[in-house]
Structure 1
Amino acid sequence: MEPTPDAVLTQLRKGVVEYCVLACLRSGRAYGLELAERLGAGKVLLTSEGTLYPLLSRLRQQGWVTTTLGPSPVGPPRRYYELTPQGLAALETFRSTWDLFAADVHHALEESR
């Protein structure tokens, strides 16, 4: 059976979305909906908010992000997520590993043409 594009994307997302969240937080704290909008902008990394919040919880448990409550212009306070030094180190490790990995994948795909 041939894989569908959705099945391929699901497998690719599993290994990278958490690091993309860390990358989004590198420029400063953000709340969940803001992260969902940034990650969902391309329609490939994040397909629903429902997958983001469990991921954010795991990142907090790993010590890669911290949370604080902050005011909202409308409604209840928002939970803001911020990168920790450990999260920044994890992001930098991913970034250097990703560059090597992506180059090898690109090479393999080009070589097969």
Structure 2
Amino acid sequence: MSTSQMLKGILEGCLLSIISKGETYGYEMMEKLNEYGLTMVREGSIYPVLLRLKKEGFVSTVRKQVPSGGPKRKYYRLTEKGYEELEEFKRRWSVISSGVNQLIEEDDTNETV
């Protein structure tokens, strides 16, 4: 399984987490993902996820004029339902990551040849 395949499953939770820190727009989210080392995420791959988050009622959007006078940007913010989904993601991630870490860090002495 490639890194990008693994990442697709957690991208939604990562975006919810970024948006939970304050109203933000797509390119800004990409910069945050890059800051945290998630450089394999392509900008075009986050927009379908953001659209799904909006359809599911986890985020709301508002278009705002940018200070430089360019085109309006779509800003995302979490809804109450979005905060609840983020907490659920954190719970699921904790269980999954803990189990995976235990598996891959297990002492090799248990391995049979």
| Alpha-carbon offset, residue 40 of structure 1 | 2.3
User: In structure 2, what residue type is equivalent to 1:14?
Assistant: K
**1:84 pairs with one of 79, 86, 94:** 79
Q: Following superposition of structure 1 onto structure 2, how do residues 63-82 of structure 1 map, counting pairs within 5 Å? A: 63-74=57-68, 75-82=70-77
Contact 1:39 1:46 in 2 (8 A): no
Percent identical pairs in the alignment equals: 36
Residue range with higher mean Cα deviation, 38-47 or 101-110: 38-47
Structure 1 runs of 4+ aligned residues shifted over 2 Å read: 40-47
Output the TM-score relative to the length of structure 2.
Answer: 0.86
User: In structure 2, what residue type is equivalent to 1:106?
Assistant: N
| Alpha-carbon offset, residue 44 of structure 1 | 2.6
Q: Following superposition of structure 1 onto structure 2, how do residues 1-113 of structure 1 map, counting pairs within 5 Å? A: 7=2, 9-44=3-38, 46-74=40-68, 75-111=70-106, 113=108
Output the TM-score relative to the length of structure 1.
Answer: 0.86
CA distance in 2, matches of 1:11, 1:76: 33
Q: How many residues align?
A: 107
> Per the alignment, do residues 45 and 93 of structure 1 end up closer, same or farther by CA in structure 2, a change over 3 Å counting?
farther
Instruction: Give the gaps of 5 or more residues in structure 1.
Output: none
Instruction: Give the gaps of 5 or more residues in structure 2.
Output: 109-113
User: In structure 2, what residue type is equivalent to 1:10?
Assistant: S
The root-mean-square deviation of aligned C-alpha atoms, in Å, is: 1.6
Bigger Cα Rg: 2
